Chains A and B, each alone.
Chain A
Amino acid sequence: MTLHPEDQPWQPKSFAFTEANLAQAHKIIKRYPEGRQQSAVMPILDIVQRQEGWVSLAAMNLVGEMLDMAPMRVYEVATFYTMFHLKPVGKVHVQVCTNVPCQLRGSDDVVHACKKELGIGIGETTADGKFSLAEVECLGACVNAPVIWIGDDFYEDLDAGSTVKMIEAFKRGETPKAGSQTGRQTSAPAGGPTTLKDAGPTTLKGDA
């Protein structure tokens, strides 16, 4: 039997925006014409998640009040999108893609490395509340598979070793460099350029 949100012990009694976040929220609301404030619900829930780390029931109720919409309508939006966390997650929320392209490129090893390094399973949070692990569907970065998504960044081209290194850096409180962990430039071919190898601007026939 699942607990209803209002009975969950981790739900805070109340929620209030920080001053800066509140100002930001009002700025977003102003983008929409009078009577259409509801359109701001997703960006504002995002602000909530950045402040709380997740989206609590109290926060959803407050957002509903701010936008003059029934709380139920906010719940509908928040539960529809998996990127809104409705339960507390770790400060570093490790989201590993395990869809087909990532799996073909070794995401199983990456998941295994995460589990081993963090000592938790999928959907769990470390005792100190710092890390949590989640399996996610395609992140749309298949060209750099396997991929882990943390915060606003993707960590790409991972294998077990680079995953451990990355997590260790987070453990030390650093934020490792995002993007490809094998050092390639964005999605350029892994072994360097395979075409247009001549440096410098190319002249096309007939340009002269």
Chain B
Amino acid sequence: MPVKLTIDGQEVEVEAGSTILQTADYMGIEIPRFCYHERLAIAGNCRMCLVEVEKSPKPVASCAMPVAEGMVVKTDTPMVKKAREGVLEFLLINHPLDCPICDQGGECDLQDETVAYGRGKSRFEENKRAVEDKDFGPNVKGTMTRCIHCTRCIRFITDVAGVPELGATGRGEHMEVGTYVEKALSSELSGNIVDLCPVGALTSRPYAFTARSWELKKTESVDVLDALGSAIRVDTRSNQVMRILPAINDDINEEWLGDKSRNSYDGLLRQRLDRPYVRNKKGKLEAASWGDALKAVAAKLTKAGGSKIAAIAGDLADAEAMVALKDLFTALGSANIDCRQDGAKIGGPRGSYIFNSGIAGIEEADALLLIGTNPRVEAPVLNARIRKRYLKGGFKVGAVGPAANLTYKHENFGDEAKILEAIASGKHDFAKVLKDAKRPMLIIGQGAVARADGDVILGLARKIAEATGMVTDGWNGFNMLHQAAARVGGLDLGFVPGKGGHDVAGILDGAEKGEIEVVYLLGADEIDMNRLGKAFVIYQGHHGDAGAHRADVVLPGAAYTEKGGTYVNTEGRVQVTRLAVFPPGEAKEDWKILRALAEVAGHAPGYDTIEQVRARLAQVNPVFGRLDELSPAAWEAFGAEGKVSGDAFAATIANYYMTDPISRASTTMAECTAAFVNTAAERTGTHG
């Protein structure tokens, strides 16, 4: 029911239940605030948002005041200004004047509001209080003397992240925000409290004292360290990434970002491949010119040719590079290409390998079955979305897979694949829960399909989806959660074995036996390099990880912050990263390397510019032509019939903080690993 009210003389009609502050935001009237945040619960404790409401004798905290019919609100009267000045003066009583050495300086709400409402001089002559700094772990630096007790961090960690480790102890002047017992915040989303903190109490530890916000060039881009494709902002100075922050994308990450995606940027500086290398006769990698390296690779590829060459695309490969590599291998007559390093048995119709409901669709679901997945480590931001839905109530979650603390209540039915058969046939209790739900949903992880009977399990998941009414008009609750940013794009453009071609397992077998003589790794580091046998290995990528160590020729490529690359996220949403810095040294954008190589090999493709490559992508699969859109996939038969093995679903990610060459090269992630993963055995569950 709409309510009519007046703010600053303008009449407005809003839904009942809105607050004055929300209404003012909607009208474009600015009201200062510290504790209010649109994605957190309302606390109403900073008092900065005071406004005058007619007939109310005292100023009113607009963030916590619901609108009422006929209300007359004034936000710019002398009384309001005086009230806000009073609040700010109190806040500044104990706030240190250390802006020149504070990392928040320049992007600090308190600084900004002080400019607007601060008095020129403090009337407070006593000593300021001092609070001991807290150690929140490798991601968050706490300078708690600066804290103004807005409790945004507490509300985020408790409600959104679901790891209630932060709180306010003591009271009055002795109130302190912290963990009471000293411990690092064990949430994968802990970095977000840095963004939420309106002052410099919580700042980023890796970013500490490295740059000032006004020196940074800001580039909006897309994260590729998990398969969500979260919106990010890459902040750079000269040619270096100084920090990565989340950007807003309500369909994917709202405004959150996982700690790995946020803080592994220092890995972009380490272990980089900055020039081509060719292994010499002594077996040592030796720096080479681009020309020599490409000639060496082209010679090997054309000489072996056909079924004796193979290509594997890694988890961070962009679609442009993959299509160029695919075209080259097609020209060379090889069908041995694969983008599924983990051997996942996927790649049928599009509806079988994307997150059909969309990430935002989680909020519409009313029952959820997790199959072989731990979303908390596979995609922490998505897990926060599931928790958000869970907190609204009326949402049953069941899981088949390894037991884990997911931050919301769920029932774990065990980790045996056989349970799926029972659910599919309706014998299991949870089948009824799904059937009774209006919008049931399942999320199947890579742990369920990256196994020998993966296609049977995929078939079972399809049966469950069909038997419980997950696929209806306007709703498709069959969702696959990927871990690799490149995977859906690779499948969309058909980077899978062609007719008579081998998949990753087949390529490794072939290389071991000597049947495959040349293996081209496009950023592929997660395969067992020992199984490549005597094959001639070309590694194209940006980090000196497992692949580069094994390689005979190294071709330096660009990381995701250094190129405009197309990535398709787990929902099937096509997004493009933007160039924020240039690749180091002689490294080049990946599709250009492959374009040059194809020419040297005598198979020049029909594209010379990035636009032409993207046109080629759209030609291969029209979805690439629809940027940032969800294209509903048709529901077709997929998966296989057969018996599932007795093997339990295994956890696919042992260490959230190190899953790819970038995060493995990051010292911040190494610190996180030491702080959270290697002590996991000692830790006890704290979630109630």
Contacts and interface: CB of A to CB of B under 8 A. Distances in A.
Interface in A161-176: none
B255 interface: no
Contact of A1 (B132, B164, B167, B169): B132
A5 B179 CA distance: 11
Contact of B169 (A57, A68, A75): A75
Q: Is the interface of B mostly helix, strand, loop or mixed?
A: loop
A64 interface: yes
A80 B171 contact: yes
B135 to A, nearest CB: 10
Interface in A59-88: 64-65, 68-73, 75-76, 79-80
Given A69-B688, A70-B686, A6 B182 contact: yes
Contact of A71 (B132, B158, B168, B686): B686
B164 A70 contact: yes
Interface residues of B, number: 17
A75 B687 contact: no
Interface in A35-68: 57, 64-65, 68
A97 to B, nearest CB: 18
A4 interface: yes
B515 interface: no
A79 B169 contact: yes
Nearest to B166: A72
B607 interface: no
Q: Report the contact-size class of chain A (Cβ under 8 Å from the partner).
A: 10 to 19
A72 B167 contact: yes
B182 A73 contact: no
B90 interface: no
Nearest to A64: B688
Interface in A80-128: 80
B165 interface: yes
A75 B166 CA distance: 10
B688 A75 contact: no
A1 B169 CA distance: 17
Contacts of B681: none
A5 B164 contact: no
A2 interface: yes
Contacts of A7: 182
Contacts of A70: 158, 164-165, 686-688
A75 B182 CA distance: 13
A5 B180 contact: yes
A4 B688 contact: no
A80 B170 contact: yes
Contacts of B180: 5, 72, 75, 79
A88 to B, nearest CB: 18
Given A70-B688, A71-B686, A4 B169 contact: no
Nearest to B157: A72
B158 to A, nearest CB: 8
Contacts of B169: 75-76, 79-80
Given A69-B688, A72-B165, A79-B170, 16 more contacts: A1-B132, A4-B181, A64-B688, A70-B158, A70-B164, A70-B686, A70-B688, A71-B181, A73-B164, A75-B167, A75-B169, A75-B181, A76-B167, A79-B169, A79-B171, A80-B171
Interface of A: 1-2, 4-7, 57, 64-65, 68-73, 75-76, 79-80
16 contacts: A5-B180, A6-B182, A57-B181, A69-B688, A70-B165, A71-B181, A72-B686, A75-B167, A75-B169, A76-B167, A76-B168, A79-B169, A79-B170, A79-B171, A79-B180, A80-B169
Interface of B: 132, 158, 164-171, 179-182, 686-688
